[in-house]
């Protein structure tokens, strides 16, 4: 899948089950024809919803709070705002376009999750951070610049920490 706006992690071997689960859950929140596929990375699937990915996260969280038993296979659900080729320059340019979402008085952290790439996290962080003129806070940032590399494609987002659903943690709450 070359165009996705959600990444969902699951336990290895449960990719088909989480695909079915996500099709159902996305249908429950109003997307009648979501596209959900395996990524080729064990334990990771990609989804394309017609909904805004951040709105989808909010709606999925409501289901998780009201009916946690509907989430049997999904472990984490991550919104993706933009997908680019896995090249430093493209990643940097796109993050620069997304970075106005970080207000002047807000802090940020860059998180890189790599799968099937030879790019180095430190190198990416240095290149991306140079284009963001805001204060860094690694422990309690207002925003996260998320770089999700899946082989030749990279999903990018500038989000708040609460925009990622961690199913197991939230079921306990």
CA 88 to chain centre: 19
The burial of 169, by beta-carbon neighbours within 10 Å (0-12 exposed, 13-18 middle, 19 or more buried), is given as exposed
Angle at 67 between CA 26 and CA 73, to 5 degrees: 60
Q: Which of 160, 156, 98 is nearest to 132 (CA)?
A: 98
pLDDT tens for each residue of 153-171: 999 999 999 999 999 999 8
pLDDT tens for each residue of 128-143: 999 899 999 999 999 9
**For position 28, what pLDDT does the model report?**
97
CA distance 96 to 145: 10
pTM for this model (two decimals): 0.93
Residue 80, pLDDT > 70, answer: yes
Q: Give the model's confidence band at 152: pLDDT under 50 very low, under 70 low, under 90 confident, else very high.
A: very high
Residue 54, pLDDT > 80, answer: yes
CA distance 155 to 29: 22
**For position 34, what pLDDT does the model report?**
97
- H or E segment to which residue 136 belongs: strand 135-136
The residue with tokens 């008085």 is 105
Under DSSP, the state recorded for 152 is T
Residue 45, pLDDT > 70, answer: yes
**For position 173, what pLDDT does the model report?**
65
**For position 172, what pLDDT does the model report?**
78
Domains of the chain, CATH where assigned: 6-80+162-172 (3.30.70), 82-158 (3.30.2130.30)
Q: What percent of the chain has pLDDT over 70?
A: 99
Residue 1, pLDDT > 70, answer: no
């Amino acid at each position: 899948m070359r165009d996705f706006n959600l990444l969902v992690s699951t336990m290895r071997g449960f990719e088909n089950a989480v695909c079915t689960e996500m099709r159902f859950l996305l249908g429950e929140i109003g997307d009648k024809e979501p596209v959900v596929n395996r990524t080729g990375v064990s334990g990771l699937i990609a989804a394309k919803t017609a909904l805004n990915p951040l709105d989808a996260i909010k709606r999925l969280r409501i289901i998780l709070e009201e009916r946690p038993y509907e989430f049997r296979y999904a472990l984490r659900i991550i919104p993706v705002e933009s997908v680019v080729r896995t090249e430093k320059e493209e990643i940097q340019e796109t993050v620069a376009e997304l970075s106005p979402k970080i207000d002047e008085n807000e802090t940020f952290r860059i998180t890189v999750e790599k799968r099937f790439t030879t790019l180095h996290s430190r190198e990416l962080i240095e290149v991306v951070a140079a284009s963001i003129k805001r204060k860094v806070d690694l422990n309690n940032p207002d925003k996260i610049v998320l770089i999700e590399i899946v082989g030749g494609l990279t999903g990018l987002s500038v989000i708040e920490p609460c925009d990622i659903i961690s199913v197991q943690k939230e079921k306990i709450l």
